[in-house]
Amino acid sequence: MRITVDRNLCESTGMCTGLAPDLFELDEDGLIVLLNAEPGDELRSAAEQAVRNCPVAAIAVQHED
């Protein structure tokens, strides 16, 4: 699993930091910071939740199978 974020789309709602606090933070400007771009499977569900529920669709996940 590989996570990418688009800081140009980020609107600082902070949904991601609530759904997946191990993967995302907001910086001083309120923009998303990716803490771990290639997390293990134990964080897969949290990452997918964050992708689905970002109100501005600023997060994407690619699965390499």
Among the listed residues 6, 18, 44, 60, the single contact to other proteins using CB under 8 A: 18
| CB 61, CB 3: distance < 8 Å | yes
From 25, 43, 46, 61, residue interacting with other proteins (rule: CB under 8 A): 25
| Least CB distance to other proteins at residue 57 (A) | 7
Q: How far apart are the first and last CA of the chain?
A: 9
The count of other CB atoms within 10 Å of the CB of residue 15 is 19
Binding residues for other proteins, total number by CB under 8 A: 19
| Site for other proteins, rule CB under 8 A | 11-15, 17-18, 21, 25-30, 52-53, 55-57
